[in-house]
Structure 1
Amino acid sequence: MTVADLKKIELHIHHEGAAPPAFTKQLAHEKKMDLSKVFTDDGGYAFENFVHFLSVYEAATSVLTGPEEFARLTSAWLEESAANGVVYTESFISPDFCGGGDAGAWREYLHAIEEAASASEAKHGITLRGVVTAVRHFGPEKSRASSLCAAETAGDFIVGFGMGGDEGQFTQGDFAYAYDQAREAGLKLTTHAGEFGGPESVWDAINDLNVERIGHGVRSIEDPDLVKELVARQVTLEVCPGSNVVLGVYPDFASHPIQKLRDAGVRVTVSTDDPPFFHTTMRREYEMLEKAFGWGEADFAEITKTALDAAFCDADTKAIVAKRLEKT
């Protein structure tokens, strides 16, 4: 068995961003929509930088216009994740893409996603839980609607609240109301920071939003005091090395700080972010980390244990996942 064959946990993947290009093309064909500018000649997603990526992402998600499409999407990417050895995953799901933030429509979309997830679990042995996600560049007011959707549907399936989008728009603290609302509903909290925003964005995330996890967070390595603070608070980083390399945060895997963060005692996990956009899979992430840092089974076992500890799901679900991991 190679390290790529190990069973895995993924905590940072965007629901719409996991859509295989072939799936998006098929939906566009069915709806007679022209998405030719979204794809490269070889069939991948076409973008030049992070801001352009966001616009391509939103264009690609435009084919997802109803609950039925989201059910199909859920089935498609969970099958791919399971084929890569993932036995538990948490995805970022945005009410803005599921009914435009309307609470009633959100429940319909969520029901379709849950049904598809349940079928995938029975068929492929992969458990999905949802982290409702505000889109940062849509602004604080929109985030309050997303947070309310999260609070009203918190439970076994919706287990967390987070925020993605353009880190250059607004501040973390501008979204404090939305986070307080989610926290009061019992949801666990995460936010994207320390990717393009630098270490100061991570300081803002932990001080202004008091999150338990950070999406990316890798540029924390630039501030030794911040690294010590992350260790002291036991904040977990949802690290996506392949994404960071493709988007130019680091030139290659060998330059990525994930090993330095581990050495400093920071809790790190491994995820794919938006796998088809970044030409990656969980198998490839494992293979590249093995190649860059010489990681073996013991290293990945530690990463997986950290991910299970940091998962937002309840204790019963963690126990089920732990048993699956034992069968590796």
Structure 2
Amino acid sequence: MISLADYLQLLPKTELHCHLTSTMRATTLQELAARDGVALWTEDAEHLFDFADLVDFLHGWRIAHEVLRTGDDIARVAWEGVEDAVRAGNLRYREYYVNPQYFARRSSPLSYAEVVDAVIAGLRRAERDFGVGFRVVVAINRRESGEAAVDLVREMIAHPRPEVVGIGQDDLTPENTEDPLRFVEAYALAGAHGLRRTAHVGETPSADPENVRAAIEVLGCDRIDHGYRVVDDPAVLALARQRGIGFATTPWSTTICSGWTLDETHRIRRMVDAGLPVSVSTDDALFFRTDLGREYREGLTALGLDAAAAQRIALAGIDMAFCSDAEKQRLRAEFRAAFLALDALLAP
């Protein structure tokens, strides 16, 4: 027999909210930074990942992109991240947010095509080695302008890759706000060319549930990243439920970026109880000292969710994914078979 913690660790999982740079190993980050003389945000290795809040974390996250100087660096990080996630949480499918703008505006730039092709090369190798499927969502850097976001979508259109399936937005604006409507034109262009759409909104204590509404009604998002403020407005909650919008949540990151305690009153638990489709991911595993197993093993337990709820969350990650219907069907069968085997071992 196995404990609930072991059950949650071994449960097959998807991950829909994962930033590629944040799948880097700490040892790889330090090795590459030393190789190229990149000054990290602190010289104190013991407290390298101690962040006060979202703004503090984002400073370090931007610098981390600087250590990825070549396509080989990016491909290495992509492969290592899959190996680690399989070991730590039985990852079976993952979608990555990739920020080409960070690589283009620096002293040793990489083009859009160079970045995405390196990501795909690393993930294809990992798929062959570990059987983990993937897709890529290109993320708009909200520190850039709306015009720059349109240019990014045009790059996607000019360099199509079957693995690149959608557009998103992350980081914060120069004013440290979400402001999703700053990028309306880019989202309209993406939608016109058949790209799936998502956005980081409703994440922090200062965020407005209206940002969730705007992402759904104006940007045409197929799913929402974070979106925790949705439960603060009954009308927005009803809209999301009516449209069947899924939410890619990241429990552990909320303890740092929002300062919330993981317990049964947490907004993620309220989203689950409200009947919203909810998946669970790491967001930025490297920076938040987490992994996919921990998000289920400790995060879901702290939220007061049981094995049956964990199964529903794992399956919601398949339903919300931007992969093909055939791949979803295969994943559902694989997951349900694993559930049967694990249920037989779960201690009463």
Same topology, TM > 0.5:
yes
Quick one: distance in 1 between partners of 2:196 and 2:235?
Answer: 25
Which structure's relative contact order is higher, taking Cα pairs within 8 Å and 6+ residues apart?
A: 2
Contact in 1 for aligned 2:178/2:201 (Cα 8 Å): no
Quick one: distance in 1 between partners of 2:144 and 2:261?
Answer: 30
Contact in 1 for aligned 2:12/2:92 (Cα 8 Å): yes
Per-residue CA deviation, residues 181-230 of structure 1 (Å, 9 max, x unaligned), is 11122111000100122212112212221211111001111111111111
Determine if the alignment matches structure 1 residue 16 to structure 2 residue 37: no
Quick one: distance in 1 between partners of 2:189 and 2:110?
Answer: 18
Taking a change above 3 Å as real, the CA distance of residues 104 and 33 of structure 1, as seen in their structure-2 partners, is closer
The residue type equivalent to 1:75 in the other structure is W
Q: Using the aligned pairs only, state the percent identity.
A: 26
Shift of 1:104: 8.4
Superposition pairs of residues 284-323 of structure 1, within 5 angstroms: 284-323=294-333
Contact in 1 for aligned 2:157/2:193 (Cα 8 Å): yes
CA-atom RMSD, angstroms?
2.2
Task: Give the structure 1 partner of residue 8 of structure 2.
Answer: 3
The residue type equivalent to 1:285 in the other structure is E
Taking a change above 3 Å as real, the CA distance of residues 127 and 170 of structure 1, as seen in their structure-2 partners, is closer
Superposition pairs of residues 1-328 of structure 1, within 5 angstroms: 1=2, 2-35=7-40, 37-38=41-42, 40-42=44-46, 44-83=48-87, 84-100=89-105, 105-166=111-172, 168-169=176-177, 171-196=179-204, 197-328=207-338
Shift of 1:29: 1.7
The residue type equivalent to 1:85 in the other structure is N
* Structure 2 spans left out of the alignment, 5+ residues: 339-348
Contact in 2 for aligned 1:154/1:187 (Cα 8 Å): no
Quick one: distance in 1 between partners of 2:155 and 2:43?
Answer: 32
Aligned pair count? 327
Taking a change above 3 Å as real, the CA distance of residues 44 and 170 of structure 1, as seen in their structure-2 partners, is closer
Shift of 1:149: 2.4
- Name the TM-score, length of structure 1 as normaliser: 0.92
Quick one: distance in 1 between partners of 2:231 and 2:241?
Answer: 12
SS in 1 for 2:242: helix
Shift of 1:286: 0.7
Contact in 1 for aligned 2:248/2:278 (Cα 8 Å): yes
The residue type equivalent to 2:169 in the other structure is M
* Structure 1 spans left out of the alignment, 5+ residues: none
Quick one: distance in 2 between partners of 1:157 and 1:99?
Answer: 21
Shift of 1:170: 6.7
